[in-house]
Structure 1
Amino acid sequence: MLSPHELATLLLLRDLPDPFGLDQAEVDALLEHQLVALEKLPTGQQRFHLTRDGHSVIQAITRLG
């Protein structure tokens, strides 16, 4: 089960793939649950993107609201 803070972090990462300023423990939890993944760009930089499961969680919580 995700905490409200982890859900908020998931929503933020959907729109801002750079986790700058986000709580690292929450980002780590999302990685552990495989809701986000790191993508290596051709420039050598990395960015987060939501996995299929991450998108499913967001769809489920937006339907509830």
Structure 2
Amino acid sequence: MLTPHEVATLMLIDDAAPNIKDLDRAAVHALIEQELVELGEFHPGHWRPSITTRGSSILSAIARGR
């Protein structure tokens, strides 16, 4: 089960794909462990989180109110 903070972080990543330094690292780490988010290097030494298919499914379920 996700905490409200993790859900908010997942939504932020989905909306903007911000740089990892702008997000709560503990929440991002928890989302990575649950395979809802993955990190990809977009410039050498710069990592950007992105939503996985599983993370997208969770957000869709939340949007439907389930």
Give the TM-score, by structure 2 length: 0.84
Moved over 6 A (4+): none
User: Is the contact between residue 13 and residue 48 of structure 1 (CA under 8 Å) also seen in structure 2?
Assistant: yes
Alignment of 1:15 onto 2:21: no
Question: Where do 5+ consecutive residues of structure 1 fail to align?
Answer: none
The residue number in structure 2 matching 1:2 is: 2
Shift of 1:7: 0.3
The residue number in structure 2 matching 1:64 is: 65
* Structure number with higher strand proportion: 2
| CA distance in 1 between partners of 2:23 and 2:40 (Å) | 18
Give the TM-score, by structure 1 length: 0.85
Q: Which moved more, 1:16-25 or 1:47-56?
A: 16-25
User: Is the contact between residue 13 and residue 19 of structure 1 (CA under 8 Å) also seen in structure 2?
Assistant: no
User: Is the contact between residue 35 and residue 52 of structure 1 (CA under 8 Å) also seen in structure 2?
Assistant: yes
Percent identity of paired positions between Structure 1 and Structure 2: 42
Number of residue pairs aligned between Structure 1 and Structure 2: 64
Shift of 1:20: 3.2
